[in-house]
Amino acid sequence: MDINDFLSPEAVFELREADKGRVLKELAHRAAALLDVDPETMTKAVVKREDLGSTGLGNGIALPHARIAGLAKPFGLFAHLKPAIQFDAIDERPVDLVFLLLLPEQYPEGQLKAMAYVARRLRDPALAGKLRAARGSAALHALLTLA
């Protein structure tokens, strides 16, 4: 699996939002625009999954995800939050690195593989540190897509 298969340069950005709800809504709206999907449908799917339990993995990282009808392949969106926000993470620390992973409805075998791949990448302390220090979308994308 290669992150380049589902993370494009225009899907990586810095984001300033005050709370988790606004972050999820903004991510969903940006993903909807890039995928040409109804933004409200996207928002409902992302929020519905988050309502089942926080996707805050700890160490300032969150991996919200949802299955989206009509999606042909996995799609990712990455945001560096400034400042970090409360996200109900497992370690109760604020989150500043968020990767929204959208998966096709009919992709059961690949869902865990894709999520594990992204989680492993973001949990790498060296990469997380570089992402936090990076400035601008191009620098963030370059760090995320390096092998």
Give the residue numbers marked as catalytic.
Answer: 65
The neighbouring-strand residues paired with 101 are 65, 76
Sign of CA dihedral 64, 67, 69, 73: positive
Half-sphere exposure of 8 (CA within 13 A, CB side): 8
The Cα–Cα gap between 13 and 73 comes to 21
Task: Give CA torsion, residues 72, 1, 7, 141, to 10 deg.
Answer: 180
The Cα–Cα gap between 121 and 2 comes to 11
CB 3 within 8 A of CB 117: yes
- In angstroms, what is the C-alpha Rg of the chain? 14
